[in-house]
Chain A
Amino acid sequence: MTDTQIIAPVPAKAETPFAQFRAEFFESKIAVGALITLGIVVVLALLAPWITPQNPYDLAQVDVMDARLPPGEEAFSGYTMWLGSDGSGRDLFSAILYGLRISLAVGVASGVIALFIGTFVGLFAAYVGGRVETLIMRFVDLQLSFPASLVALMLVALLGKGVDKIILALVVSQWAYYARTVRATALVERHKEYVEAAICLGLSKARIMFRHILPNCLGPLIVVGTVQVASAISLEATLSFLGVGLPQTQPSLGVLIANGFEYMLSGRYWISVFPGLALLLTVVSINLVGDHLRDVLNPRMKK
């Protein structure tokens, strides 16, 4: 059968999917810029305890005598408050970096947990099918028809304050997005022939679900994930603004902005403008990255 053996030439584009993905991603200057910005923001947040002059959560280090200093003034304690201080005398630079830590942690933690739960539920629904699926998906639909802000608002009101509670509220209000995405993609994938092939090859259902279908749902999941993390950060800020978010003494960006809100008309713009800019920078860069990911990962948009 030698003459069947055609060692055909290889198509020109012989990069791995990841390399191709990377190449396409790095094509957009905006997206790369956003990614770099995001990277800087994350690194700054992570390094906050080492690069800030003050630990804004340690009451012994915060002095109310420093309250509302404009940017560049020197604090009682000696260092310069480059971004000014807030109404309790917190150095805003320190507070923003620490706040970023909380905001990012809340956003990412709720995103990741919601992703896990949502993925599991969505996949499970697609996997079992039938009544159970209908039941699950109706539930998901109903939750989706409810605005996340309202769900989170109610929950935080019920649960009380605290990082854990707000994460819980965000997870509850967001898991359904993931579940729906995963299930929708999984349903499409389930009807593809490679799944039938896997069934035919006697592979277990679980293996088909997790090793074959799930990896193919990742694209949309990542996109939904970035958007949801960004919206979780915003939502947390909104809840804090409404007074049901995080505690005053361990401010996230949202709390900082909300606190600064009171000073807006008094000319002390910095108390809420700087945290606002930090939030904006973070959320916009996440969204830009996510947006571009969507373009790259969406085969329909490909040329």
Chain B
Amino acid sequence: TAETLTIGLAAEPTSIDPHFHNVGPNNAIATHIFDHLVKRDENQQQMPGLAVSWAPIDDLTWEFKLREGVTFHDGSAFNADDVVCTFERAPNVPDSPSSYGTFTKGKTVERIDDFTIHIKTEAPYPLMPNDIANVAIISDDTGCTATTADFNDGSAAIGTGPYRFASFTPGENLTLQRNDDYWDAAPEFETVDYRFLKSGPTRVAALLSGDVDMISGVPTTDIATLQNNDDISLSQGVSNRVIYLHMDQFRDVSPFVTGPNGEEIPNPLRDVRVRQALSMAVSRDAIVDRVMEGTAIKAGQLLPEGFFGISPNLQPVEYDPEGARALLAEAGYPDGFTMTIHGPNDRYINDARIAEALGQMFSRVGIKTSVETMPRSVYFSRASSGSPEGEPEFSFILVGWGAGSGEASSPLRSLVHTYDSERGFGSSNRGRHSNPEIDAIIEQALATVDDAARQDLLAQAMEMAIETVAVIPTHFQVNTWAARDGLSYVPRTDEYTLAMSVTKD
């Protein structure tokens, strides 16, 4: 049947070029039109894509066997040349604000035959399939020499994916047509029309009024009402995104922390007891129930259950205001201190309101807290390098982290590992927590190709990070999709909205 699926998308893709901007919405759209050597299922588990199998053949070389008989939308056949040229183009797209070089860096692709390639690295690299899963394969005839504009107007948007490009208007909509020659199971809907509807209520209204069949990013506030609406079905799934708090642990005096009466004091956040107290002061139940209206999961570590590299021993810290007070007193702050929480107001689900709730909770254990939220445009550059010295500006911030690779190494190396710009560690470690012991374990894990060993190392690092309160995780986001009755969506941890995952009941 020539049925059209209309989806109201919360986050709009900026380009069809799969190598232009490494962000979720772009990657999600790319997944429709292009294939990856390694695919990920809804739980970010790896599956064969254009590669039918892969394995390290020595410490520094991975062999990928490519799928035969796959054709691009223009009819040309897929082979190793396409992979080689893809890896050449991906890190070198002009004007790219966030390059795919992250995934191709340090890797050399070697064509062995039409359907075999070797990828070499300089050091043992266990995350190879993870990285490879992010690089969309384009055609060496049409794609490799094309510009971003060529992709956007469709002339180069030719992949092997389940959908063909039909039209794209930035800021408005994207239309896709089913690829009937797809090598894998063909999707249900022949035509998909993505509408970009950024505002939450607008999106819900569009669904309710029948403008669209399905929406992503259902605001938490509307979930209850939609649940009671017989014409609407919801699907929910936990995401790989943890919301956590970073504390200034590198300055002797922290700019937004002062004594109870505003006087300058030595940075209390460097004291692990204070950090523990703060974690205990957070009522994760209140956040989940009251702020998130139930659509979140209390966090005790940096990735939710089911992900690779988490520790089974870690439980969310219990809410204990009395204990927090006691710990504070023990650390020498019986009267608390004064602090400002900074956070974005347009980045995570209910971010500003969470910051406010945290402010309330800290105030209740004696830490006079004020809350300042700002648009992410201002927030992230200040949070990363806003101080006069180019260091993180704030003392205590609310941030989120989505583990793109789907394993614990991602948050650990970026958030917990000591900040080291030379080697690319701790790039988002805005609290500058530094613990050489943890660093060593993380580094070891990242060089361990054996999965079981790596799992143990990561879990160990995770436990240590939580124990020393490198960061305070609060909750994992739960994402909600809503569709008109009769459609169902398989929720994904990577927050992607994929037309292929929509099925008719």
Contact = CB atoms under 8 A, between A and B. Distances in A.
A64 B286 contact: yes
Nearest to B203: A265
A212 interface: no
Nearest to A63: B360
A161 B221 contact: no
Contacts of A161: 374
A247 B201 contact: no
Interface in A223-280: 243-244, 247-249, 261-268
B291 A67 contact: yes
Given A62-B360, A64-B357, A243-B345, A262 B200 contact: yes
Contacts of A262: 200-201, 219, 221
A67 B88 CA distance: 53
Contacts of B345: 243, 248
User: What secondary structure prevails in chain A residues at the interface with B?
Assistant: loop
A266 B221 CA distance: 6
Nearest to A263: B221
A160 B369 CA distance: 21
Contacts of A268: 221
A62 B286 CA distance: 13
Interface residues on A, range: 20 to 34
Interface in B195-232: 200-201, 204-205, 208, 219, 221-222, 224-225
A290 interface: no
A249 B372 contact: yes
A88 B286 contact: no
A262 B223 CA distance: 12
A89 B372 contact: no
A59 interface: yes
A261 B361 CA distance: 25
Given A89-B360, A160-B374, A265 B353 contact: no
A265 B360 contact: no
A267 to B, nearest CB: 6
Given A89-B290, A266-B221, A59 B373 contact: no
B378 interface: yes
18 contacts: A59-B359, A59-B363, A60-B360, A64-B286, A64-B287, A65-B290, A87-B221, A87-B353, A88-B357, A161-B374, A243-B345, A248-B353, A248-B356, A249-B373, A265-B205, A265-B208, A266-B225, A268-B221
Interface of A: 59-60, 62-65, 67, 87-89, 160-161, 243-244, 247-249, 261-268
Interface of B: 200-201, 204-205, 208, 219, 221-222, 224-225, 286-287, 290-291, 345-346, 350, 352-353, 356-357, 359-361, 363-364, 368-375, 378
